[in-house]
Structure formats: structure tokens, C-alpha cells
Amino acid sequence: MTVPNPSRRLKVRLAAILTFAIIAAVVAWRSASVPQRPLCAAGRHEERDAAGKLVRITHTECVR
């Protein structure tokens, strides 16, 4: 049996490390938390002024 050339062994080791680094970067990029839109909450929302008087009523409908 012959022992592989040290430069070839180094190239294989560097290729393996580079492959793992690329895979780790892709996994981190894909699993990064992306701010998502808030879920739609259908219903009625009442807005009041500082005195507590009803100013506006807003109805919300969710379309899927």
C-alpha cells in the first residue's frame, strides 16, 4: 500500500471543510427567522379618544 501524497490529503481535507462550511451557511440562511405578517384577526375594532368617547368603528374581514 502506498501512502497518499500529503498535498493530496490536504486538498481532500480542505474540500471536506469547505463543503461542511457551505452546508452550514445554507442551513443558517434558510432557518433564519424572517419577520412574518401578523395573522388576520377578523372582527370589530373600536377607537376611543382621551375622554373615552367612541370616535371610529372599524370592521376587519380576512380573505384567504
Calpha distance 57→48 (Å, rounded): 9
Q: Taking a C-beta distance cutoff of 8 angstroms, is the pair 27, 21 a contact?
A: no
Position 20 scores a pLDDT of: 97
Domain ranges within the chain, ordered by starting residue = 6-60
The string of pLDDT tens digits covering residues 4-42 is: 677 888 999 999 999 999 999 998 888 876 667 777 888
Calpha distance 3→15 (Å, rounded): 19
Q: What is the pTM of this model?
A: 0.45
| Predicted confidence (pLDDT) at residue 61 exceeds the cutoff of 70 | yes
